[in-house]
Amino acid sequence: MLIKPAIERSDMIYCALCKDAPCNSACLAMDPARALLGIWFDNQDVAAMKLPEKNACADCSAPCEKACVNSGSVPIKGLMTALYEKVKPEVEVAIPDDENRLKCDICGVPIENPFLLSSSVVASTYDMCARAFEAGWAGISFKTICSFDIHEASPRYSAIKGDNGSIIGFKNIEQLSDHSVAENMEIFRKLKENYPSKFILASIMGQDEAEWESLAKICEENGADAIELNFSCPNMQEDGLGSDIGQVPELVERFTRAAKRSTTIPVLAKLTPNVATMSPAAEAALRGGADGIAAINTIKSIVGVSPYTFASVPAVKGKSAVGGYSGNAVKPIALRFIAEIGQNPTLKGMHISGMGGIETWRDALEFILMGAGSIQITTAVMQYGYRIIDELKEGLNYYLVQMGIKSVKDVIGAGLDSVSDTTDVLERDTVLFPAFNLEKCNGCGRCVISCNDGGHQAIRFDDRKPKLDGSKCVGCHLCKIVCPNDAIEAGKKRIKKMDRP
């Protein structure tokens, strides 16, 4: 599972990942829709092992492809056959019988797996939270509770999309829960009554110390297992709230202390990424008594700048506003902040609840390796639904079994030693050349264009095949990144710069 998979998203790029998928209705032998989800969410091994023993696609006329809403665009039969012929023979271990390896905790409170919905619209009503619990999510961070009026704009979402329409980056200008405190407390009581083993993280936002204190207290009294202090929402109408607090460590400390005064359950400070470094605010939260840190919230952004552009912008009567940016595009930024907190010796022992661009189990694993003890997700759920929990749990569980790891808790922070906040630790005396797989190369020449105009003019084009000039190549691997056919790989051996051609 750690190497390049035999099948990737690009092989099914036009799959709509349908609700009640027509391909399933057309196939009597297997569940192709579930297998396609497995491929999309980087879970090919488990998808292959869940197929029937015999490959029913071999002599099939592929009615699934005819039934597909994008008929002719998704090679379902070919993908199922690839799972049988390329993936299944290579699987290393059987699908685990249980999910006990996923059990962990948030500040000592046990949870059945690391996966929670983050504070947003996806966890904002009783029905939504109940359906998420039924689907297999371990808990929710409920949409931020406040005692002031919320007035939302319409529309309030926009996105940067990939070529197939999937969301790469997502912008929102949405604010907090528009239900009253009393209504939200009724939801807490009902959730805790019907789902006593599920984790309720109560996200709150106050306007002064008294409100932070009272909201924390009432949430505990109505069933919350922990409190999350929202010091990071970038979308507030009024100044002095949300990320305005998270950017001032003194305010983080003061309001954390206020919330801790009134509650006995764990308190997490949810911090803003709209700062140069997160440690000052995290250390302030610790001084105020916080038991953990949640990070990151969305990043201040503009997507589209005027009604005359064609960008997808949430324009309200021709006007928009700076809002929060999320989605898979922000994952590298989120990981940077998680690693910063995880490596800070002053914060050692604090729980980190990580979020920011997580879609697959592999994304989640990266956060865990950087020190996150729990994972929160919103944007991927908004795009694909609560159903992704199956792929998250099965993929992570299978990885742990494959690697011989008994508990997910054993890998929390295991990757921190490999990360440096400077580039001084990197090897700089050798070059790793790219290697061209001419069997996969389609002769498009994109590598040549990029190397000529954005690199070091180290690739020439002979008979529509790329050839490397080792005397010029610096091993930057731009060519590998831009190749649309994955025909360029990293070389097998590093070469000392003095020994190069």
Structure token pair of residue 72: 């002719």
Residues 313/158, Cβ–Cβ less than 8 Å: yes
State in Å, rounded, how far the first CA of the chain is from the last one: 36
User: Which member of 233, 473, 479, 483 is catalytic?
Assistant: 233
233 is catalytic: yes
**What is the C-alpha to C-alpha distance for residues 342 and 333, in angstroms, rounded to an integer?**
14
DSSP 3-state of 146: coil
Question: Which is nearest to 437 in space by CA: 449, 427, 447?
Answer: 447
Neighbours of 287 (CB within 10 A): 16
- Type of residue numbered 259: A
CB under 8 Å, gap of 24 or more: what pairs does 147-154 form?
Answer: 147/181, 147/206, 147/207, 147/211, 147/215, 148/207, 150/175, 150/176, 150/177, 150/178, 151/237, 152/178, 153/314, 153/316, 153/321, 154/316
CA distance 26 to 69: 12
d(CA 377, CA 391): 13
Q: What is the DSSP letter of 390?
A: H
Q: How many CB atoms lie within 10 A of CB 93?
A: 12
- Contact indicator for 364, 45 with CB cutoff of 8 Å: no
Beta bridge partners of 430: 496
Q: Which residues pair with residue 69 across a beta bridge? A: none
What three-state secondary structure class fits 27? coil
Contact between 5 and 43 (Cβ < 8 Å): no
Among residues 274, 280, 284, which one has the least CA distance to residue 252?
Answer: 284
Positions marked catalytic: 233
